[in-house]
Amino acid sequence: MILLTGGAGYIGSHVSVALLDAGLDVIAVDNLSNSNNASLERVQSICGRSLAFCHADIRNEEAICNVLRDYEVTAVIHLAGLKAVGESNAEPMTYYENNVLGTMRLLSAMKRASVKTLVFSSSATVYGIPAYLPLDEKHPLGPTNPYGRTKFFIEEMLKDLCKSDPDWRVGILRYFNPVGAHESGLIGEDPVGIPNNLVPFVAQVAVGKLEKVRVCGNDYDTPDGTGIRDFIHVVDLASGHLCVLNHLKQPGALTVNLGTGIGHSVLEVIQTFEAVSGRSVPYEIGERRTGDVAACYADPTFAEKTLGWKSVRSLAQMCADHWRWQSKNPDGYRGAQYQTNKLKFRVG
């Protein structure tokens, strides 16, 4: 049985599908602060299998410890956490409490239950301002905001833990920019309020909920002047979790980039989205966004060499799948009438 923290979220729902499809059993834990467990009912429909759900916060060590023991969990995939950069500047302590303290409590519960295999969701944000591109795992770390620092501190903590006790096996996954949705259009990203990230924003313009995209700067040193990022299909990202889990045979911490290695500009994303959706996506050029870098993309060769994993889905497919989800669910999971596949529900 695999415990998935943050299991009801965007990444969590897609990782659930990957695990269930691989024949593994899943208990998802989520405090539902930024997610909706309707996503997990839909996961069950996609996979034709059920999973268990526990409504609990990772800071509740007793609840997590009970779940680990009751469900005979053998490994944990830890995705729960807060992730908005702007909010982390305004409320750093909330970020440290949820992300760092939450992880410490989770690790303590795992130790008590003798579960010492963990996959952790980190972010390419730990690299900070790129000194060179593409970013390989040896690139120096220097996060530039509290959110990024929580990921960095957790990574360091996990490495120290592995050094102190050879029973721990830890995968640290540095995500680049996850976008897209499951091809069924049943699960996808459901941001609360106005999206901060590019692709959800573009999707809401295409569906008519927002008027136009503000392109944050067109004077970067890039071919078209707009920012370049490594967008990765969330289904490819999810399969990376399964691969790393299968490769955690050796003690210690394994740190891996999950990216495509290909950079796409903001304007390329807008044009591709227009092409696959058949909708127009009006935009205007605005000021640069504070804290943004010109370009950021992965060197994914270590993942391929070590895990045999690489992304296979193109930007067009990311946009097409994101559009299918957005157009079928213009209001996300809110008002979802999908109650055919009831979850096995427990409150921690």
Report the catalytic residues: 147
Residues 6+ away with beta carbon under 8 Å from 164: none
Per the CB < 8 A criterion, the answer to whether 205 and 80 are in contact is: no
CB of 215 to ligand UD1, least distance (A): 4
Give the residue nearest to ligand UD1 (CB).
227
Q: Which stretch binds ligand UD1 (CB under 6 A): 9-17, 67-75, 96-104, 193-201?
A: 193-201
- φ/ψ region of 193 (left if φ > 0, alpha if ψ in -120 to 50, else beta) reads left
Task: Let me know if 3 is exposed, middle or buried by CB neighbors in 10 A (0-12, 13-18, 19+).
Answer: buried
| Strand (E) or helix (H) holding 264 | strand 264-265
Backbone angles phi, psi at 291, to 5 degrees: 90, -10
Residues 6+ away with beta carbon under 8 Å from 230: 124, 176, 177, 259, 260, 261, 262, 263, 264, 296, 297, 298
Report how far residue 47's alpha carbon sits from residue 338's, in angstroms, rounded to the nearest whole number. Answer: 15
| Strand (E) or helix (H) holding 252 | strand 252-258
Rounded to whole angstroms, what are the CA distances from 8 to 28, 35, 296?
Answer: 7, 6, 28
CB of 292 to ligand UD1, least distance (A): 4
Alpha helices in 248-297 (DSSP H): 266-277
Q: Which CB sits closer to ligand UD1, 18 or 82? A: 82
* Local structure of 211: helix, strand or coil: coil
Please tell me whether residue 348 binds ligand UD1 under the rule CB under 6 A: no
Q: Which CB sits closer to ligand UD1, 132 or 347? A: 132
Please tell me whether residue 14 binds ligand UD1 under the rule CB under 6 A: no
Site string for ligand UD1, 65-104 (x = CB under 6 A): --------------------x-------------------
Among residues 323, 291, 345, 344, which one has the least CA distance to residue 86?
291
Please tell me whether residue 256 binds ligand UD1 under the rule CB under 6 A: no
Query: Of residues 120-159, which lie at the interface with ligand UD1 (CB under 6 A)?
Result: 123, 125, 148
Please tell me whether residue 218 binds ligand UD1 under the rule CB under 6 A: no
Query: Of residues 271-310, which lie at the interface with ligand UD1 (CB under 6 A)?
Result: 289, 291-292
CB of 301 to ligand UD1, least distance (A): 21
DSSP state of 159: H
Query: Of residues 156-185, which lie at the interface with ligand UD1 (CB under 6 A)?
Result: 177
Q: Which stretch binds ligand UD1 (CB under 6 A): 30-38, 195-203, 240-248, 301-309?
A: 195-203
CB of 144 to ligand UD1, least distance (A): 8
Q: Which CB sits closer to ligand UD1, 218 or 341? A: 218
CB of 71 to ligand UD1, least distance (A): 30
Q: Which CB sits closer to ligand UD1, 168 or 201? A: 201
Question: What is the secondary structure of 37-105 as a DSSP string?
Answer: THHHHHHHHHHTS--EEEE--TT-HHHHHHHHHHTT--EEEE--S---HHHHHH-HHHHIIIIIIHHHH
Q: Which CB sits closer to ligand UD1, 214 or 247? A: 214
Using CB under 6 A as the criterion, which residues of the chain lie in contact with ligand UD1 when the complex forms?
Answer: 85, 123, 125, 148, 177, 196-198, 201, 213-216, 227, 229, 266, 289, 291-292
